[in-house]
Amino acid sequence: MLTSTRTECGSVAELPAFESPVSRSFVSDAGASMEPRRPGAALTLHDVSVTTKIIVRAGPETVAGHQMDTPFGASRTEDGALVVGQRPDEWIILGPAAASRALIDGLDRSGHVSVIDHTHSRALFRLTGDEAASVLEKLCSLDWNDHMTPDGAAVSASVAKVTCDIVRNDLDGTRSYLISCDRSYGQYLFDAILDARHEFGVGAPADAAG
């Protein structure tokens, strides 16, 4: 079993690109890597909650809505930030504080447009590896096959009975998912994903102490 002692966020050091205002992570074992059982089947789970998360809500009639330029269910990268069409007329911008700030400052706020800093509201994890979809299959009823959730796809769904926003965001051709949930569920969801990995990786995370 994993230790339940919470530690200062270990993943900050691993992700120097993010200059987040989140001073403390709430997840133990932040940045846990899982030892692969099969060669080439590395499976990692990282707590990247420090990522800046900005919600932009803007109707189709607004300039901001056009500026987002990302349809519902899709995502795209701009200036180091990920713009996610998370819901109709609603986007989440994920990225380093500096980069997303530039994006937000450039937004036309005329009309009924809301910009809300959601950085503290959401936990965000990155699940990476060839078996990442197999892990998600154990937690979520959506179809994780390439044709239904290709790289870039953005969905919302129940994961281990917690409603999550999920973006397929492959890293150098390796399957990877950004999974975010309400901050208060963060530890529970992190543990649930770790537990689901049992059949794909062995042993406790090597760098659990972060």
Residues in touch with another protein (CB under 8 A): 6, 20-24, 26, 55, 57, 71-74, 87-88, 112, 114, 116, 118-122, 137-143, 145-150, 153-158, 160-163, 182-185, 187-189, 192, 195-196, 198-199
DSSP state letters, 148-202:
TS-TT-EEEEEETTEEEEEEE--BTTB-EEEEEEEGGGHHHHHHHHHHHTTTTEE
| Residue 79 or 98 with smaller CB distance to another protein | 98
* Cβ at position 115, least distance to another protein in Å: 9
* Cβ at position 138, least distance to another protein in Å: 5
| Residue 103 or 155 with smaller CB distance to another protein | 155
* Cβ at position 20, least distance to another protein in Å: 8
The 3-state DSSP class for residue 7 equals coil
From the list 26, 21, 27, 73, the residue with the least C-alpha distance to 51 is 21
| Residue 43 or 79 with smaller CB distance to another protein | 43
- Give the Cα separation of 210 and 207 in Å (integer): 5
* Cβ at position 174, least distance to another protein in Å: 19
* Cβ at position 41, least distance to another protein in Å: 15
Q: What is the dihedral of CA 11, 178, 185, 26, to 10 degrees?
A: 10
| Residue 33 or 52 with smaller CB distance to another protein | 52
In this structure, are residues 149 and 142 in contact, taking their beta carbons and an 8 Å threshold?
A: yes
Q: For the chain, how many residues are written?
A: 210
| Residue 79 or 150 with smaller CB distance to another protein | 150
Q: What is the dihedral of CA 165, 170, 176, 178, to 10 degrees?
A: -30
| Residue 45 or 155 with smaller CB distance to another protein | 155
Residue type, 102: A
* Cβ at position 164, least distance to another protein in Å: 9
